[in-house]
Structure 1
């Protein structure tokens, strides 16, 4: 039995403004050329010290979580289209 290795590269890009907000954009390009994007956001309380890495971790995690849900939705839409029935997604 032959196995084919497939790899996906996920890109994360962060921006932080002066108002304690960090935004993340996550993007994955699938082997068929389709791109799926998602966004995440984190807010720092003004009394907290500035820790850009923490904001990136929170915003990045939220963007990746949304990306995962978009990929699940896409997969189920493809299953439904190919099978002519409604599939039932399992929520993570």
Structure 2
């Protein structure tokens, strides 16, 4: 019996603007692209350590993407669980 395997890649784009870091995550799942957004804001009084803003914004974007992907799966499950005509 053949096994189902797939490789999915997530593109993660980070943008820094002053004290704000924004992240945009994109997952192409064949018939559609799922996107997630994340933002991190540094207190102007804190030290400027860009890696921390990157990690927070990226984590939040991936979390947003995960929630959207789970919502798509839930909708697909509901679609096949409904009784036919």
TM-score (norm 1): 0.84
Q: Which residue of 2 aligns with 1:25?
A: 24
Rounded Cα–Cα distance in structure 2 between residues aligned with 1:11 and 1:23: 14
Runs of 4+ in 1 over 6 A off after TM superposition: none
Larger RCO, structures 1/2 (Cα 8 Å, 6+ apart)? 2
1:52 is matched with which residue: 50, 53, 61?
50
3-state SS in 2 of match to 1:46: coil
- RMSD of Structure 2 on Structure 1 (CA): 1.3
Q: How many residues align?
A: 83
Gaps of 5+ in 1: 86-92
Structure 2 gap segments, 5+ residues each = none
TM-score, normalization by structure 2: 0.90
1:40 to 32, 38, 41: 38
